[in-house]
Structure 1
Amino acid sequence: MSVSDQAAPASPPAARGAAEGTPARRRRFSARSRRDFWVFLAFAAPNLILIALFTYRPLLTNLNYSLLDWTLGSTTAQFIGLQNYIEFFTSEGGRRTMLITLIFTVATVGGSMVLGLLFAVAMNRRLPGRTVARTAIFAPYVLSGVGVGLVWLFIFDPNFGALAWVLRQVALTSPQWVNDPNWALVMVIIVYVWKNLGYCAIVYLGGLQSLPTEVLQAAELDGAGPVRRFWSIALPLLSPTTFFLLITTILNSLQAFDIIRIMTPAGRGTNVMIFEVYLQAFGGYSRAGYSAAIAVILFVFLLLITVIQIRYVEKKVHYA
């Protein structure tokens, strides 16, 4: 038998894989794959371009403005670095703005969620007229903030308002809601809670109606009363709903502007951060650079709050 007649030794698996690997990888990017990619790009590119132009570009531009000493309308600006940020965190006005923002956020979020949960529990019962009640409670949430502010401004008017008339019937004097900074903050908190509790109530109502009835019935058979069933079973099972509302209501409260602008145009005692951004730029100060710095700080706060909630608070949520 000649040498040529002998069978050639088989190639090692690794060598065959190396030799065949390149064509296999090339086959992955076939004509169909390339066509699908271009179709995806054709649909996604307009959205990506719009997001880049109207979201990220203004964000970067505002970040640049925050490093400048720039008066609104001026053609020149001076680069001052982080001086605007240092001024906000060290000045009395900046610290007061953060305190007002904290009070407003805690009061509005807590009030809306607690009252919303109570209304949801009441609306979840088989009571006459509950459909009308649900509509009436949710209606303020979809109303314009400007309209709501104007109506409540008339109600809180210390001289001719409806609330002042009611207080006079019981020999009481109406507080100076608009002129007193402390009462002005209470006033906008009341209005904001009234406007947003319907949203919390409807979301909580949906959560209550999706609870497993067999668990509640088993607890009732075991002798648990309504209060015990609510605190020990219903409320823990509502934790995903509570978590969702906590995120959305905090973000909404930190961005509340329209009602505050209508009811307290000068911002006496109601200078939450987003309203302070407006006042510094367009409220007579014309400090566009300082206003941009406050806006960046607010953006960072919103980002940190969202990350903390998703990272730590979600661990206490029961999804099953």
Structure 2
Amino acid sequence: MTVNQTAPAVTRPRRGEASPSAVPKPTRKRKKSPYPYWFYLPAVVIYATLFLLPTFASFFFSLTRWTIFNATFIGVGNFVQFFQEPALVTGLRNTIIYAVMTSGLKVVLGMLFGVLLTSKIIARGFLRSVLFFPVLLSSIGVGIMFSVFMDPDKGLINQVLAAVGIQGPAWLADPTWAIYSVGLVDVWKGVGLATVIYIAGIVSIPAEYYEAAEMDGASSAKRFWNITVPLARPATATVIILSLIGGLRSFDLIWAMTQGGPGFASDVIASVIYKQYQAGFYGLSTAGNVVLFVIITAIVLPLSIFLNRKEVEQ
């Protein structure tokens, strides 16, 4: 008996249809391993220990009358008493003046020094080191040193001015000059950091822009205003934010040079808080720290958002 075996019919895919063998097989998504995220843990622990816990503890203790051994909850009494502090208005005014003055001068001088120290001048590296050196010095040491230099009778600054026929003021003893004198010392100490930030921003600007502007006959001043200033905007925003935060919370240099004097002429919010702590009003001084934190946040956060938004739009 003969069995006729016929070959199975081969079906060809129609035009426009994919071959069965060409149809991609469904692939399983690989589950992400949590292993890389464990490397964040040390930083999170340090940040929580050194910043988050003290911050929340400050908010709690600002609502209490506390000592080392006990704490009594009194609500917002500390805040009410803090805003009744006689020196608070003077401290707030001086804080704003000090912050605006120091941050403004650091922006202007940092930009000018940054342009100078990125140009082709002799001993450029040495000059950068000299300008940055005051940043490394202790604020207390700088304050004590300039307190001697600014002595109205025996100070080096007034002696130099007298040699050229100028009578120097009583820098730290005159209520009119005290806060501005400390501000100038702050600028001397901190302008090196602003300059380094500007140097980093200026050297990142493509050299082709300057070459094209030079070929078009643009002067140095026009190249500065039309190329350097706009393209160094990120550096400017960084210097403004850092300098403003430092100015608003400044304490150590002011305390080393004037201790808020003469009288209350150079008091800032931080020195008012410290005087309350010295007097034993720990809850009151903690409430003052919370107020200072809120003031800095209310000023710096919107300014930072505004500067970054302008940077993105450009």
TM-score of the alignment, normalized to the shorter chain, above 0.5: yes
Q: TM-score range, shorter-chain basis?
A: 0.7 to 0.9
1:294 partner amino acid = G
TM-score, length-scaled by structure 2: 0.81
Pairwise CA distance, 1:137:
0.9
Structure 2 equivalent of residue 37 of structure 1: 34
Instruction: Look at both structures and tell me which one has the larger radius of gyration over its CA atoms.
Output: 2
State the alpha-carbon separation in 1 of the partners of residues 172 and 304 from structure 2: 38
State the alpha-carbon separation in 2 of the partners of residues 45 and 206 from structure 1: 31
Percent identity of equivalent pairs = 32
State the alpha-carbon separation in 2 of the partners of residues 170 and 213 from structure 1: 44
TM-score, length-scaled by structure 1: 0.80
Residues 53-97 of structure 1, C-alpha deviations (whole Å, 9 max, x = no match): 332222122112212345x56x56553322332344455422221
- Do the aligned partners of 1:66 and 1:290 also contact (CA within 8 Å) in 2? yes
- Do the aligned partners of 1:176 and 1:183 also contact (CA within 8 Å) in 2? yes
* 1:118 equivalent in alignment to 2:112: yes
- Do the aligned partners of 2:90 and 2:268 also contact (CA within 8 Å) in 1? no
State the alpha-carbon separation in 2 of the partners of residues 306 and 174 from structure 1: 36
Q: Kindly tell me: are residues 289 and 182 of structure 1, through their superposed partners in 2, closer, same or farther at Cα, counting changes over 3 Å?
A: farther
- Do the aligned partners of 1:239 and 1:318 also contact (CA within 8 Å) in 2? no
* 1:239 equivalent in alignment to 2:233: yes
Higher alpha-carbon deviation: 260-269 or 145-154: 260-269
Trace 1:244-263 onto structure 2 (pairs within 5 A). 244-263=238-257
DSSP-derived class of the 1:182 partner:
coil
Q: Which runs of 5+ in 1 are unaligned?
A: 1-23
Structure 2 equivalent of residue 99 of structure 1: 93
Kindly tell me the number of residue pairs found equivalent between the two proteins.
Answer: 285
- Do the aligned partners of 1:156 and 1:162 also contact (CA within 8 Å) in 2? yes
1:223 partner amino acid = G
Structure 1 equivalent of residue 138 of structure 2: 144
State the alpha-carbon separation in 2 of the partners of residues 194 and 97 from structure 1: 23
Higher alpha-carbon deviation: 301-310 or 156-165: 301-310
Q: Kindly tell me: are residues 38 and 201 of structure 1, through their superposed partners in 2, closer, same or farther at Cα, counting changes over 3 Å?
A: closer
Structure 2 equivalent of residue 293 of structure 1: 287
Large movers: runs of 4+ above 6 Å: none
Pairwise CA distance, 1:109:
0.3
- Do the aligned partners of 2:132 and 2:192 also contact (CA within 8 Å) in 1? yes
DSSP-derived class of the 1:181 partner:
coil
* 1:127 equivalent in alignment to 2:121: yes
- Do the aligned partners of 1:236 and 1:318 also contact (CA within 8 Å) in 2? no
Higher alpha-carbon deviation: 166-175 or 52-61: 166-175
Higher alpha-carbon deviation: 171-180 or 119-128: 171-180
* 1:63 equivalent in alignment to 2:66: no
- Do the aligned partners of 2:88 and 2:272 also contact (CA within 8 Å) in 1? no
Aligned pair partner of 2:259 in 258, 265, 268 = 265
